[in-house]
Chain A
């Protein structure tokens, strides 16, 4: 395992994307525009995709896990669909191989969850991105239609939790397709990378050929930026706490305040509370005219 030095950025990590939409909207076609993909076709719908890519046609969970080594040859694994893979294949597998799952549905859900998490962890370990496709289910709330990924109960919770991005693919007003990552009252969505809603190029547009690859690349960049921002924030807080620990007089208190103000705004009140102790003990107060700490008279 390579060491990431303190002054280096963490490398981009593999991501999990959950894309859902109504049948025929082009989920499979969009997904295979990712980098070097293999489509795990659990739904027998691969032949409808606009672009044909390598496809693993499977009819049970063993068909998938028996190809684990094969996945090392690809950059992206696409599960099509989540419901067929988890609710049908994996649930059936759990009941066949796990005694507890035969008798107890809750245990079966637990087994399915653990097995799928292990599969996702394996893909991460070989640096492969995962796209999970799902049909859209809908509920009505008064006159509103609310869309969400069609996966059953606990499997739905699992895929929603592990996904970095959840996007609802639909037709926009001008018949262009839009991948909605932005949460609203009508859809379930998740936008860790803050990509917003993305207009998908027309299938005849050359840009379409790499549409999903570009989305995944942008997701990784944003996640990496956020990790770096967090590391910078923690570095600044560490420096501020060290500066507070060194406060012995006005100038060191001034230095501590400078260090505190270099921290994220949300952390500043907690750090100022920490500074208040030494200020009180040393009898220091802020001189408003000079903006410096001085001995209270």
Chain B
């Protein structure tokens, strides 16, 4: 059985919705080009590592007020306020499970396909996703996203939260992997609730996506589900 990541389905949804930064080529790239990561995503991974593992992943540097967190060989430098923010958030999530894989098969006219994703935080009856942001937050970007709908569908839960943390004035060329000169701004959680017809919407998106894949001869780029 072929498989597809929820993140790729989200790219496809944005393309369908006419997002100005997401073209048909973006969808093809999401399938064909292995995602390498960049400073934006690695800062997010390092922040999440503190939330998941606590102080054990934080290394204090000789320079006053600087802390290093290394994920997959990529060191990210935070300041004390940012580390404290991640630890405070972690403390609010007792008995949480992090980075849990979820998935299930969807039967579409084009193929049977396994849709999968990795939940940032599974906390009791709530699903949470940590997003580090580098520009102003738009509610609609989250409320409209397919990510939370699939996560609720695949976990069988009803409530999803996006927990957003912004690094104001971050510039990738200037700051790179060192955000210690910046502040950190937490937003209130964006709550997303299961609604009537959510599963139908998800199924339709998967059907449209698999149809797109077949029509564009991209089936070969879908990976097989590992058992």
Give the residues from 127 to 177 in chain B that come closer than 8 angstroms, CB to CB, to chain A. 127, 136-140, 143, 155-159
CB < 8 Å: which of B94, B136, B195 contacts A234?
B94
- The CA of A266 and the CA of B152, in the complex, are separated in Å by 10
Q: Are B188 and A162 in contact (CB under 8 A)?
A: yes
A194 interface residue (CB < 8 Å to B): yes
By a CB distance below 8 angstroms, the chain A residues around B138 are: 157
Q: Are B125 and A229 in contact (CB under 8 A)?
A: yes
By a CB distance below 8 angstroms, the chain B residues around A230 are: 124-126
Q: Are B156 and A266 in contact (CB under 8 A)?
A: yes
Give the residues from 3 to 61 in chain B that come closer than 8 angstroms, CB to CB, to chain A. none
Q: Are B143 and A160 in contact (CB under 8 A)?
A: yes
A156 interface residue (CB < 8 Å to B): yes
User: Interface readout for B106-125 with A: 1 if CB under 8 Å, 0 if not?
Assistant: 00000000000000001111
Give the residues from 103 to 127 in chain A that come closer than 8 angstroms, CB to CB, to chain B. 106, 117
Interface bin, chain B:
20 to 34
A52 interface residue (CB < 8 Å to B): no
Stretch of A5-13, A75-83, A183-191, A202-210 on the interface side: A183-191
- The CA of A196 and the CA of B196, in the complex, are separated in Å by 9
By a CB distance below 8 angstroms, the chain B residues around A238 are: 94-95
By a CB distance below 8 angstroms, the chain B residues around A106 are: 136
By a CB distance below 8 angstroms, the chain B residues around A157 are: 137-140
Q: How far is the CB of B182 from chain A (nearest CB, A)?
A: 16
Q: Count of A residues near B, CB < 8 Å?
A: 31
Q: How far is the CB of B141 from chain A (nearest CB, A)?
A: 10
Q: Are A234 and B124 in contact (CB under 8 A)?
A: yes
CB < 8 Å: which of B97, B157, B195 contacts A270?
B97
B187 interface residue (CB < 8 Å to A): yes
Q: Are A237 and B95 in contact (CB under 8 A)?
A: yes
- The CA of A229 and the CA of B158, in the complex, are separated in Å by 12
Q: Are B125 and A192 in contact (CB under 8 A)?
A: no
Query: Can you list 18 A-B pairs, Cβ within 8 angstroms, ordered by A?
Result: A157-B139, A160-B139, A161-B187, A184-B195, A190-B191, A190-B193, A192-B159, A192-B191, A192-B193, A194-B193, A196-B196, A234-B94, A234-B95, A237-B124, A238-B94, A241-B95, A266-B157, A267-B122
By a CB distance below 8 angstroms, the chain A residues around B84 are: none
Name the prevailing secondary structure of the A interface residues.
helix
CB < 8 Å: which of A117, A182, A233 contacts B195?
A182
By a CB distance below 8 angstroms, the chain B residues around A156 are: 139
Q: How far is the CB of B69 from chain A (nearest CB, A)?
A: 23
A264 interface residue (CB < 8 Å to B): yes
Query: Please, which residue of chain B has its CB at the minimum distance from the CB of A188?
Result: B143
- The CA of A269 and the CA of B143, in the complex, are separated in Å by 28
Q: Are B100 and A265 in contact (CB under 8 A)?
A: no
By a CB distance below 8 angstroms, the chain A residues around B95 are: 234, 237-238, 241
CB < 8 Å: which of B94, B97, B195 contacts A267?
B97
- The CA of A183 and the CA of B127, in the complex, are separated in Å by 19
Give the residues from 138 to 164 in chain A that come closer than 8 angstroms, CB to CB, to chain B. 154, 156-157, 160-162
By a CB distance below 8 angstroms, the chain B residues around A117 are: 188
CB < 8 Å: which of A184, A191, A194, A266 contacts B125?
A266
B197 interface residue (CB < 8 Å to A): yes
By a CB distance below 8 angstroms, the chain A residues around B97 are: 267, 270
